[in-house]
Structure 1
Amino acid sequence: MQIEGTVLRGREFDPVEGRVIVEDGEIVAVEETATDSDAIVCPAFVNAHTHIGDSIAKEAGAGLRLDELVAPPDGLKHRLLRAATDAEKIAAMRRSLRFMERSGTAATVEFREGGVAGVDAIRRALDGVAVEAVVLGRETVAAMHEADGFGASGARDADFTAERAATREAGKPFGIHAGERDSTDLSPALDLEPTFLVHVVHPDPAHLDRIEREGVPVVVCPRSNLVTGVGTPPIAELLERTTVALGTDNVMLNSPSMFREMEFAAKVGGIDARDVLRMATVNGADLVGLNCGLIESGRAANLLVVDGGSDNLDGARDPVRAVVRRAGVDDVERIVR
């Protein structure tokens, strides 16, 4: 298979006119050559933090504070999840996953509520959808064993020492929310030696120093943080210290569109487009050991082909900025997986 156009090649997303050669689902070469294509070929997205179960309650809870919306065990989302049937939750999740597939997301890192049953539900929702999910079970060690790892709510909610030890013994990733409301839960979260932190809206200088020293990656979800009124993360400072990936967080609050998340991060955070595209692709892949997120030999051929000649993108002078700051699902020409 050959995909032609302006190829955003390698970790720097250097735009080259040419084609990507794919064999058996793997990129085997990127060849520079003249083409007649307006397409922009880039890596498909890795959404590094989702709560897809919230798909049953889109735009519920307007005006509520963060704890009222999502804090376990009785935040609005948890009450709505308990009230919904398995069939309702699975159908809603499948619809969100189909939208993610159509809008260029190849993989997601899902914090899955509901224990073992919740892990089973997302697996069933994924049936027939071309999105790979790294599922992090929550609430019990048994859920972690059924899933790909453990996703902790936050150190202020519970002592996760036992869950961390079990996850480490299982050789699986351990992610934890931290620094979303304020800085008080960042140190106890870091004490758990997590695989990665989520949010980190309110780090103190000492936390930034420790994140850098200990090499802890961070997943930021700036649209979610703005909606819940906790502020926005210091993305530029975090990028200077560690690997930063991008997630869309609760489907209850925002659509799982990486196009929207990238545009918001780039424009509100004042971040270079190449940094944002790395956050939305390879950084999320590397976070959980996925072999995608870059266009280079040996990587999985999870590719997003955008119509650079669309009414929206025609005339764009910088293809990376066009993808990050301007493109949307209507510009998607083709998904290669």
Structure 2
Amino acid sequence: MELSGTILRGSEYEPIEGRIVIEDGRIEAIEEATNVPDRIVSPAFVNAHTHLGDSIAKEAGRGLSLAELVAPPDGLKHRLLREADRDEMVDGMKRSLEFALATGTVACLDFREGGVEGVSRLEEAASELPIDAYAFGRESVEAMEAGDGFGASGANDADFERERRATAAADKPFGIHAGEADPSDLDPALDLSPEFLVHVVHPEPRHLERIESDEIPIAVCPRSNLVTGVGVPPVDELARRTTVALGTDNVMLNSPSMFREMEFLAKHTSLEAPAILRMGTRNGAALLGRDDGLIEEGRPANLLVLDADTPNLAGVLDPVRAVVRRAGQGDVADVIVDGRSVEMSDW
């Protein structure tokens, strides 16, 4: 398979006119060329933090606080999840995964409510789709063992020492929400030596120093944080200290669109477009131990192809900024997963 256009190559997403040669699901060669089609070829996205279960309750909870919306065990989200039957939830998650795929996402890291059964529901939702949905069980060691890791709600909610030890013994990653509403749970979260943190909206200087010295990556979800009224994370400062990946958080609050998340971040920080694109591609992939997220020889051919001649993108001079700040679902011409074209008409 060959793919031509303006290719965002390497870790700096350098735009070159050329073609990509794909063999056995991997990028075999990247060659400069002339007279290429009016397309932008970017790495596909990896969404570093989702809660897909609440796809059954989109835009619920107007006027509620963060705790009233999502705090376990009796926040609105958790009550609705308990009331939802299996088929309803599986269908809702599948539809959200279809939308994520149609907007260029090939993998997501989901903090999975509902124990072992919740992990099973996500696996069923993703089973027929060319998208990797990683289930990080939230509520028990058994859920972690059934899934891909443990996703803790927050160090103020419970003592997660047992779950941390079990996750390490299983050789799986442990992630935890921290510093979302206030800084009170950041120190106890860091004491657990997690593989990554989620949110970190309110770090104090000592937390930033610990994060930097321990090299702990962070998944940020700025749109969600703004919606819930806790503020926007200091992403510029976090990015100076550690690896930052980008997530969309609860589907009940925000669509799982990495286009929208990147645009929001670009317009609320001083970060340049390549840094933000890296957060939405390579950094999220690295968080999951994946090798994609960059267009380089030898890497998996997981790619997003944009039509650069749509009314939205025609006339763009900086293709990296176009992907980060302007592009959307209507500009997607194709998504390549493991070297194969996804039929976008299916979604």
Distance 1:162 1:283 in 2: 28
Residue 304, structure 1, aligned to residue 309, structure 2:
no
Tell me if the contact between 2:47 and 2:247 (Cα under 8 Å) persists in the aligned partners. Answer: yes
Distance 1:187 1:296 in 2: 38
Residue 80, structure 1, aligned to residue 99, structure 2:
no
Distance 1:289 1:127 in 2: 21
SS of 2:28's equivalent in the other structure is strand
Q: 1:298, CA displacement in angstroms?
A: 1.5
Residue 29, structure 1, aligned to residue 29, structure 2:
yes
SS of 2:278's equivalent in the other structure is helix
The runs of at least 4 consecutive aligned structure 1 residues that moved more than 3 Å come to none
Q: 1:36, CA displacement in angstroms?
A: 3.0
Structure 2 residue ranges without an equivalent (≥5): 338-347
- Residue equivalent to 1:317: 317
Counting only pairs closer than 5 Å after superposition, residues 1-337 of structure 1 correspond to structure 2 as: 1-337=1-337
- Return the TM-score normalized by structure 2: 0.96
SS of 1:269's equivalent in the other structure is coil
How big is each residue's C-alpha offset from its partner over 1:300-321, in whole Å with a ceiling of 9 and x where there is no partner?
1110001111110111110000
Q: 1:74, CA displacement in angstroms?
A: 0.5
Distance 1:255 1:19 in 2: 32
How big is each residue's C-alpha offset from its partner over 1:139-174, in whole Å with a ceiling of 9 and x where there is no partner?
000000000100000001000000000001111011
Distance 1:60 1:215 in 2: 37
Distance 1:313 1:271 in 2: 22
How big is each residue's C-alpha offset from its partner over 1:199-224, in whole Å with a ceiling of 9 and x where there is no partner?
00000011111100000000100000
How big is each residue's C-alpha offset from its partner over 1:83-103, in whole Å with a ceiling of 9 and x where there is no partner?
010010001100000001111
**Across the two proteins, how many residue pairs are aligned to each other?**
337
Distance 1:93 1:204 in 2: 36
The percent of aligned pairs where both chains have the same amino acid is: 63
Distance 2:208 2:28 in 1: 39
Distance 1:215 1:265 in 2: 22
Tell me if the contact between 1:4 and 1:35 (Cα under 8 Å) persists in the aligned partners. Answer: no
- Residue 120 of structure 1 aligns to which amino acid in structure 2? S
How big is each residue's C-alpha offset from its partner over 1:100-152, in whole Å with a ceiling of 9 and x where there is no partner?
11110010001000000000000000021111112111100000000010000
Tell me if the contact between 2:55 and 2:252 (Cα under 8 Å) persists in the aligned partners. Answer: yes
More deviation, 131-140/105-114: 131-140
Q: 1:27, CA displacement in angstroms?
A: 0.9
Tell me if the contact between 1:8 and 1:295 (Cα under 8 Å) persists in the aligned partners. Answer: yes
Distance 2:155 2:299 in 1: 36
Distance 2:267 2:130 in 1: 30
More deviation, 27-36/118-127: 27-36
- Residue 174 of structure 1 aligns to which amino acid in structure 2? F
Tell me if the contact between 2:6 and 2:36 (Cα under 8 Å) persists in the aligned partners. Answer: no
Q: 1:288, CA displacement in angstroms?
A: 1.2
Q: 1:270, CA displacement in angstroms?
A: 2.5
Structure 1 residue ranges without an equivalent (≥5): none
More deviation, 26-35/145-154: 26-35
